Amino acid sequence: MPDKQLTGLLSRRKGQFFEELLLSANQYYENKGIAVVEKTPEPMRILKPYDQKGRFVACFAKQAQPDFKGVLCDSSMIIFDAKATDKDRIQRSAVTAEQEECFNRYQKMGAHCFLIITLGFDQFYRVPWETFRDMNDKFGHKYMDENDLNGFKIPFTYGKVLYLEGMELKD
């Protein structure tokens, strides 16, 4: 397998693993009555219909929205995207134009908008959308490294990224 294909495969597997950690946290929060959060389905267009084994060929219909949407027990909405990288920083360009537009629309309506970020699955961070969006103004560069992310750490416990810890609910 060529290096580029292997890198892509490893990247997808890490993304799936990160998503599983967040899905586990979603279930935990729902069981506790704190939040109901669901994965946003990727819009797909079928190119070739089902075969005898139930398979089909499809492509993504448009760029993805943020990964997760839900509601907290105080009736406020949350919307967030998960970003995992093995590098020592997360680039501002990791958020697509479609995701940015979606975050901005939901934030105008009062939703809690944020990114869950991990650098190498070592630490996990909940970064408010406005901080991520305006990182160049706040930090002087178009990326966030561990120093920039330190104030946004969230716990990782028992296979769950506890992304709502420390978040204040409305009265």
* CATH code at position 37: 3.40.1350.10
- Range of 105's domain? 3-161
Q: Is residue 170 part of a domain?
A: no
Q: Is residue 169 part of a domain?
A: no
Q: How confident is the model at residue 57 (pLDDT cuts 50, 70, 90)?
A: low
- Rounded to an integer, the average pLDDT of 46-62 is 63
pLDDT score of 45: 59
Average pLDDT, the chain: 89
Q: How confident is the model at residue 73 (pLDDT cuts 50, 70, 90)?
A: very high
Structure pTM? 0.85
pLDDT score of 20: 93
Q: Which of 139, 141, 144, 102 is nearest to 127 (CA)?
A: 144
pLDDT score of 15: 83
Say how many domains are in the chain. Answer: 1
Q: Is residue 53 part of a domain?
A: yes
Q: Is residue 82 part of a domain?
A: yes
User: Which residues, 6 or more positions from 89, have their beta carbon under 8 angstroms from its beta carbon?
Assistant: 119, 143, 144, 145, 146
